[in-house]
Amino acid sequence: MTSQVLGIVLRKTGELIGCVGLYERMQDSGEPDANGRELGYMLSESAWSNGYMTEATAAIIRFAFEELRLERLYASCFEENLASMRILEKNGFQFVGQMTHSPIALFQPGQTEFFFELAFSDWQKSEKH
């Protein structure tokens, strides 16, 4: 399965302000996870703090569970990105762990990354959708 990435546009102006997507996730075996995807998003700084990403995330979660019939979604953010953490929590994701990257890592050296998951069964039970 390929990634699904959607643009986020302002309703009033049609301006592209970001994107939200579902990305292939590999299992420990090295095989693609047929039942889960990684959620990712980015938003123009000028559009922050307006609820756009919370709304877009809710929409792609609904798509993932209702149309793609996925069983689980995964996401992560860095410790200092409190806004991203709130987006995930508002949409029902649960914190499942953290990891601090090595100081000599190529990606985000020394940064602490938080990991989240959302199971279809939990989403289905929630009043968030």
Report whether 117 contacts 73 (CB < 8 A): yes
- CATH code of the domain covering residue 88: 3.40.630.30
Number of domains in the chain: 1
Domain residue limits at 30: 4-125
For the whole prediction, is pTM greater than 0.85? Answer: yes
**Residue 117 to residues 26, 36, 120: CA-CA distances in angstroms?**
15, 10, 10
The percent of residues in the chain predicted with pLDDT above 70, rounded, is: 97
Q: Could you read off the pLDDT of 23-43 as tens digits, one per residue? A: 998 888 888 888 999 999 999
DSSP class of 102 = P
Adjacent-strand bridge partners of 18: 8, 43
Per-position pLDDT tens, the chain of length 129: 678 899 999 999 999 999 999 999 888 888 888 899 999 999 999 999 999 999 999 999 999 999 999 999 999 999 999 999 999 999 999 999 999 888 887 878 888 999 999 999 999 988 655
